[in-house]
Structure 1
Amino acid sequence: MTEDELIEAVRVAVSDRGLPPPASPADVARAEAAIGHTLPHLLRRLYLEVADGGFGIWQCVSLTDNGEWYSDEQDIIEVHRSWASSIDPVLPPGVVPLMDRGCAMWTLVDFGTPEGHIWDWDPNDCCVLVPTTLSLAQWLTGWLEGWIQPGPYSQFRIHEENCPSRHARAGH
């Protein structure tokens, strides 16, 4: 799927959600300045062309306080500040919480990568905050095609060699 096709598919998939209007370029610039990194191109387009939050298998947080809260925080700036000031987990530079999946699980996106590499926070799994094998485009495609389901991302996580959960799943 091209980026244009992916954006249109997301727009169609969320058309019945009553989402807020798209963010403005000024909203994007404000979020980027507060976070200290530019949004990956695809994510920028989703906020500017689809909606200011609420898209995705769960609902991505908004860039602005638009009255719709898709997590316990009002917008991506507030959720990033909350995570950045936390001792655990320690956020790698550029990794930004994007979607609250419930049960304390979060999907995060790496603003420091052009493709928006996806990270996973699942306190019920080993190594807690880890990268996945997915880019933002792959993650969205998985949602649209049904192979990304609500719940854990265990099959997409990149575990360190010394992770006990990884060895248990591999039958070691």
Structure 2
Amino acid sequence: MTEDLLVTDDDIILAVRAHVADQELPDPATADDVRAVEQMVGHPMPRLLRRLYLEVANGGFGSWEAVSLTDTGDWFSDCADITEAYHDFADPEHPLPPGIVPLMDRGCAMWALIDFKTADGQMWDWDPNLCCTAHALAPLEQSLTEWITDWLHGTTPDGTYPQRETTSKNCTAR
């Protein structure tokens, strides 16, 4: 989906709040929570993601429920919070590129990740089931705004993203 230029971050925040209104999500994160994650990652959080955590909830929003910034007692993955998820990806053999942060656990070792180095929060996919961990990471060529808008419209697919380029097709680790 191409980004709807008429949709503002304010519109998205209001739509996400309405979408999750009937869910029992954690209270919003604090500015200190955001700063601690930014310090750990070494890059500022993309503006829309920052606002979602500060103005909607400290986790639980999105099609696969964003991991909380801190342990809220409501786990949205096998990890208590985003710090634990980030450190779980610290594999010396296949590290994530700097600034790429696990955001949503899709199950079966698959994750939706976000690039903190990009102002619009470019989304990434992690799926080691396609071949191996060396080929698990691939860019989605979709911003967080586009990804959240797709989710709000009910078009975020379950399973592998359709725009994911299969980088593992020539993998010899199979």
Which TM-score band applies after superposition, normalised by the shorter structure? Answer: 0.7 to 0.9
Q: Which residue of 2 aligns with 1:34?
A: 40
Determine the C-alpha separation between the residues in 1 that align with 2:166 and 2:110: 16
**1:9-158 paired onto structure 2 within 5 Å:** 9-84=15-90, 86-87=91-92, 89-125=94-130, 127-153=135-161, 155-158=162-165
The alignment covers a number of residue pairs equal to 161
Amino acid at match of 2:146: Q
Give the letter aligned to residue 157 of structure 1.
Answer: R
Looking at structure 1, the residues matched to 94 and 16 of structure 2 have their Cα atoms a distance apart, in angstroms, of 30
* TM-score, normalisation: structure 2: 0.87
TM-score (norm 1): 0.88
In structure 2, distance between residues paired with 1:80 and 1:146:
28
Distance in 2 between residues matched to 1:81 and 1:158, nearest whole Å? 26
1:88 Cα deviation from its structure 2 partner = 5.3
Tell me how far apart the structure 1 counterparts of residues 18 and 112 of structure 2 sit (CA, whole Å). 22
Structure 1: distance between partners of 2:30 and 2:45: 14
Shift of 1:159: 4.4
Residues 11, 90 of structure 1: alpha-carbon distance in 2 compared, 3 angstrom cutoff: same
For residues 147 and 100 of structure 1, the distance between their equivalents in structure 2, rounded to whole angstroms, comes to: 18
Which stretches in structure 2 are left out of the alignment for 5+ residues? Answer: 1-6
Change (3 A) 1:88 1:54: farther
Cα distance change on mapping 1:52 and 1:118 into 2, 3 Å: same
Which segments of 5 or more consecutive residues in structure 1 lack a partner in the other structure? 166-172
4+ residue segments displaced more than 6 Å: none
Q: CA RMSD in A?
A: 1.5
Q: Deviations over 1:5-53 (max 9, x none)?
A: 1111111111111000000111111111122221000000000000000
Following the alignment from structure 1 to structure 2, what is the Cα–Cα distance between the partners of residues 146 and 88?
Answer: 37
1:125-157 Cα distance to aligned partner (Å, 9 max, x none):
25321111210000001111122122211x211
